[in-house]
Structure 1
Amino acid sequence: MTITTTYAEYVTELAYDDLPEEVVDYAKKLTLDAIGVSIGARSRAGSSDAFVDGVDSLADGGEATVFATGETLEPEYAALLNGALVHSLDYDDTHRGASHHPGASVIPAAIATAETVERDVGGEELLAAIVAGYEVNCRLGQAVDPASHYDRGFHITATCGTFAATAAAGKIAGLDAGGLANAFGLNGSQAAGSQQYLANGSWNKRAHPGLAAHSGILAARFAEAGFYGSEAPIEGEDGFLNAYSDDPKPELATEGLGEEYELYRTGIKPYPCCRYMHAPLDGVFGILEEASIAPEDIESATVEIADPGIELVGRPAERKENPQSFVDAQFSMPFGVALAAVAGEATVDSFIEWSDGYTEEFGRIMRTTDVRSSAAVNEAYPEMWCADVTIETAGETFETHVEYANGEPENRMSWDDVTEKYGDLTVDLPSAAADEFLERVRSLEDERVEELTAPLLAESRNEAVADD
């Protein structure tokens, strides 16, 4: 069988009862995290007003919930908006091996489709679709070879997310294996996402998984209608792997499929910035706390991370040492070091506050932070996104090594950790609505999708405000 047909059969045959208990539990954590981030992004991300207004100008009613606003739209537009908001704070989940963010396309596509199919979809079916989407997303991301894919200028969250959103939406829609393979065929003409956003800190990146979720639902709808898609869109001569990579590894696309779960190898972020900054930030915070170092004591800092991370958060040094926007700050390791030292935290609000303007001390720390690579961290990559951190003061040198950042599968965030993050992100949601949604996610396998999203609807929020 081809990769395409293997994926199609796996997705359509996967049942909730096939899933290990820990995978189900983690899928619920990832769902809560993604939706919490989308709600938090509505008021905190500068791009949100424009994106919401743009989608509203295209869409006019529907039955799929926009998590952050409580409005309902047609499923493809709800998924578009939800997917973009999930990614707008760069605070969403990350798969280390695929070097991308799988949930931002999969979860919005699955939920929007589940809310709008003719039958009543239960939580077990939704969870199976989410897991299926993650498995396609993460395996395809590894198979396209992230380093090669990035070198060619593609954003892997966007490209692989299109196939993954199609898997999740197609499963909920009830496509058979042939229909889903046909839907994947349409993805060959939809999978897109350019990294040119890094040139000026633009908002394109935030839109990418929303566009992928939108495309996934469109592909499923077209396949349902009998539209004829490309054959072998993943493995073909001009298919995804060969067209989007100089060094594809097709064997990774199906390795362990149905036996191991890449969803369970996905990390949850404690900081709203590029994942390559997380292990270094853990190291910086550890040194600062242990040695009681004040900002003015820091003479220099050195961060060593793997080469792919250098390209995202360390170069060009002139721009990384002088970020001009929130997006710039999220991809600036020097900014992260200075934020940890001066603000003593790395929260959404502190990233936004300090990216709007920083003090002379803050700027000095950025300029004296050296971001580089080493043989040791490169040898560990991609199995480990580790970091070596050194901070120099007048007369003393402090060093630490971080193997796995907080939130990685080897250092998982607990339900309490994820719930605390969710609470920080949903302060604009009435507490009664936020609490009710949290409880429904925790018991998702016993809920109907209609019940799951009910607390997020505008009328429910209004009732919750009255109750509060």
Structure 2
Amino acid sequence: MSLTMTLAGFACGIDTREIPDEVMARALALVTDFTGSILRAAHEADSTPAVLAMLERLGMEGDGPCTVFGLNRHYGAAAAALLNGTFGHSLDFDDTHADSSLHPSAPVVPAALAAAELTGASGADFLAAVVMGFEVCCRLGMALDPTEHYARGFHPTATAGTFGAAVAAGRLLGLDAKAMSAALGVAASQASGSLQFLVNGAWNKRYQVGEASMKGLMAATLAASDFVGAEDAIDGKHGFLRGYSDGADPERAVAGLGTVWETLRIGIKPYPACRYTHAAVDGLLALRRDLNLAPDEVEAITVGLHRNGITLVGAPIAEKRRARSVVEGQFSMPFAAAAALLRGRFGWDDYDLLGKPETEALAARVDVVRDESLENLRHPFGATLTLRARNIDYRLRISDPSGEPETFPDAQAIAAKFRTLAGPVLNADADTLLNRLHALPQALSMRDWFS
């Protein structure tokens, strides 16, 4: 059996009741966390007005059955998936899967939500579909080899994420294995996402992830209407793995399938920036606290990163030190370091530091280098840190950033992050939505659940 058919059969063949309780609970925690990012970005992301204007101009703003968090109206399913995916990824505060170096919720959850609302699926079936989407996109991301995929200039959340979205939506639309394979065949023609946004801090990154969610939903809907999709679209001669990587390992996509749950290896972000900045920020905050360190006492900082981190947040260093837009800040190790040292924290509201003289003066003291000791490890998100202050060099090695599975936040911490993001938008109604999210496993129908 082809790898494509193996994944298709798994995605639609396992019963909701067969998914371990801890996996379903983790999916609910991730959906809750992701919803907070959607809400805040719907109102504050700089790209939001342009996306809404595009939908209006194209006649896609019409009323429909599907929820878009943060907007006081419903949309058609395709538009809802696009908006929730784009908004949810706009703050760069959404979850990450280290082994695939991608953000699973951003493409998967919006497609699953739109399909669940279309079909009136139960909350449990919605969460099961989310799990299947996570499993497929994370496994494909691992099979690609993130380092090789990045080297080709691709953004794995948008590429592999398209398949995860198709699987999540297809499961809720009732696809059998043959139809699910067709959905993956269509998704293979839709998978796209370029790292070129790094050059000028463009908005492509957030949009291409929302588009992945929408395209995955569309692929599944085509398959539900008996559309014939390409066979062996993942592992075929001209398939996804061959076309998007020079070092793909197809076996990683199916190793432990159904017994090892990649959903449990997804981490939640404590800071709204590229995950490759987080370990160093953890270390800097610890030094600031433990040494009672003032920013003006910092003479120099050297951050060592995996080569993927250099690609995304460390080079070219002169430009990374002069981040001015939000996207530039989200992909700047020097800005993240400066924000953490100046504020003793790093949250969405700290992007007001962009372009300020004190920020750029501190960022100018940050260097980012490739640390080969961080290569060939299971996780690429660690960092080494040397901070010089008071004529002393302080050195740290942070193997994994906080929020990874070993330090996954508890329910109280997830709720606190949600309130920080949703509170300014919903005020007292933030807890009402939080309670509604917590009750999802008991929902008999997702139709109008959030109305």
**Counterparts of 1:220 and 1:395 in 2: how far apart (Å)?**
60
Determine whether 1:371 maps to 2:373. no
- Residue 376 of structure 1 aligns to a residue whose secondary structure is helix
Determine whether 1:309 maps to 2:309. yes
User: How far 1:56 sits from its partner (Å)?
Assistant: 3.4
Matches within 5 A, 1:70-219: 70-117=72-119, 120-219=120-219
- Residue 299 of structure 1 aligns to a residue whose secondary structure is strand
Determine whether 1:250 maps to 2:253. no
- Residue 281 of structure 1 aligns to a residue whose secondary structure is helix
- Residue 367 of structure 2 aligns to a residue whose secondary structure is strand
Is the Cα contact below 8 Å between 1:323 and 1:335 reproduced in 2?
yes
Is the Cα contact below 8 Å between 2:166 and 2:216 reproduced in 1?
yes
Instruction: Point out the more displaced range, 198-207 or 47-56.
Output: 47-56
**Counterparts of 1:37 and 1:451 in 2: how far apart (Å)?**
22
- Residue 286 of structure 1 aligns to a residue whose secondary structure is helix
Instruction: Point out the more displaced range, 392-401 or 441-450.
Output: 441-450
**Counterparts of 1:99 and 1:450 in 2: how far apart (Å)?**
31
- Residue 189 of structure 2 aligns to a residue whose secondary structure is coil
User: How far 1:277 sits from its partner (Å)?
Assistant: 0.4
Q: Quote the residue 2:353 is aligned against.
A: 354
User: How far 1:362 sits from its partner (Å)?
Assistant: 2.3
**Counterparts of 2:448 and 2:345 in 1: how far apart (Å)?**
33
Determine whether 1:392 maps to 2:388. yes
**Counterparts of 1:335 and 1:430 in 2: how far apart (Å)?**
29
User: How far 1:200 sits from its partner (Å)?
Assistant: 0.4
Aligned pairs, number: 449
User: How far 1:336 sits from its partner (Å)?
Assistant: 1.0
1:336-364 Cα offsets, whole Å, 9 max, x none, are: 1111111222110102x012x212x3222
User: How far 1:76 sits from its partner (Å)?
Assistant: 0.9
1:162-184 Cα offsets, whole Å, 9 max, x none, are: 11100000000011111111111
**Counterparts of 1:188 and 1:448 in 2: how far apart (Å)?**
33
Is the Cα contact below 8 Å between 1:283 and 1:389 reproduced in 2?
yes
Is the Cα contact below 8 Å between 1:3 and 1:234 reproduced in 2?
yes
Q: Quote the residue 2:429 is aligned against.
A: 433
Distance 1:116 1:286, change over 3 A: same
Distance 1:207 1:449, change over 3 A: farther
Q: Quote the residue 1:64 is aligned against.
A: 66
Quick one: which amino acid aligns to residue 290 of structure 1? D
User: How far 1:324 sits from its partner (Å)?
Assistant: 2.2
Quick one: which amino acid aligns to residue 386 of structure 1? G
Quick one: which amino acid aligns to residue 425 of structure 1? L
- Residue 232 of structure 1 aligns to a residue whose secondary structure is coil
Is the Cα contact below 8 Å between 1:440 and 1:447 reproduced in 2?
no
Identity percentage of aligned residues = 39
Quick one: which amino acid aligns to residue 434 of structure 1? A
**Counterparts of 2:125 and 2:165 in 1: how far apart (Å)?**
15
Determine whether 1:293 maps to 2:289. no
Instruction: Point out the more displaced range, 420-429 or 52-61.
Output: 52-61
User: How far 1:430 sits from its partner (Å)?
Assistant: 3.3
Q: Quote the residue 2:283 is aligned against.
A: 283
**Counterparts of 1:84 and 1:430 in 2: how far apart (Å)?**
20
Distance 1:265 1:209, change over 3 A: same
- How big is the alpha-carbon RMSD for the aligned residues of Structure 1 and Structure 2? 1.4
User: How far 1:366 sits from its partner (Å)?
Assistant: 1.1
Q: Quote the residue 2:48 is aligned against.
A: 48
Determine whether 1:235 maps to 2:232. no
Quick one: which amino acid aligns to residue 291 of structure 1? L
- Residue 427 of structure 1 aligns to a residue whose secondary structure is helix
TM-score normalised by structure 2 residue count: 0.97
**Counterparts of 2:94 and 2:28 in 1: how far apart (Å)?**
14
Give structure 1 stretches of 5+ with no counterpart: 458-468
Q: Quote the residue 1:465 is aligned against.
A: none
User: How far 1:449 sits from its partner (Å)?
Assistant: 4.3
**Counterparts of 2:260 and 2:448 in 1: how far apart (Å)?**
28
1:217-254 Cα offsets, whole Å, 9 max, x none, are: 11111112221111110000110000111011000011
Q: Quote the residue 1:268 is aligned against.
A: 268
Distance 1:254 1:330, change over 3 A: same
